[in-house]
Amino acid sequence: MRQATHTLTLQTTGKGLYECTPAVAAWVRDSGIETGLLTIFVQHTSASLLIQENADPDVREDLADFFTRLVPEETTTYRHRSEGPDDMPAHVRSALTQTQLSLPVNEARPALGTWQGIFLFEHRSAPNRRRMILHLIGE
């Protein structure tokens, strides 16, 4: 059994879904591990991870719009407002999604379905540098 770790950094330009499948798949391929389990963890409390459709960009926009309606900004119901009106809603959106994904690896590739991609879901309006820790165990 072997293990490998990597930190993947992604620059965002504001709210939205950012596909990171190619970068993750390239690292898995280069790790030399053919079969195993990949864990991806985002080290932030105002961003999350999703496996979502990667064929039609309308899906990404619809998801982002849905979360904006579900968790509105500019509301007086939040106590935490010290980092701006989008901060607490970003924490709530992150709590409703995931900060970690586990994926099987088969033939040195994440075993995603035909239309599936790995996405960082940025919940803040401002640009950010987001770090994701990748951990792969297998043989």
Residue ranges of domains in the chain, CATH in brackets: 2-138 (2.60.120.460)
pLDDT for residue 77: 82
Q: How confident is the model at residue 18 (pLDDT cuts 50, 70, 90)?
A: very high
Q: How confident is the model at residue 134 (pLDDT cuts 50, 70, 90)?
A: very high
Q: How many C-beta neighbours within 10 Å does residue 24 have?
A: 24
Euclidean distance between CA atoms 74 and 109, whole angstroms: 42
Nearest to 135 by CA among 106, 108, 107, 101: 101
pLDDT surpasses 80 at 14: yes
pTM of the model: 0.95
pLDDT for residue 53: 96
**DSSP category for residue 98:** B
pLDDT for residue 81: 82
Euclidean distance between CA atoms 136 and 114, whole angstroms: 22
Nearest to 129 by CA among 6, 8, 18, 12: 12
For the stretch 55-95, pLDDT in tens is: 999 999 999 999 999 999 877 788 888 888 899 999 999 99
Q: How many C-beta neighbours within 10 Å does residue 16 have?
A: 15
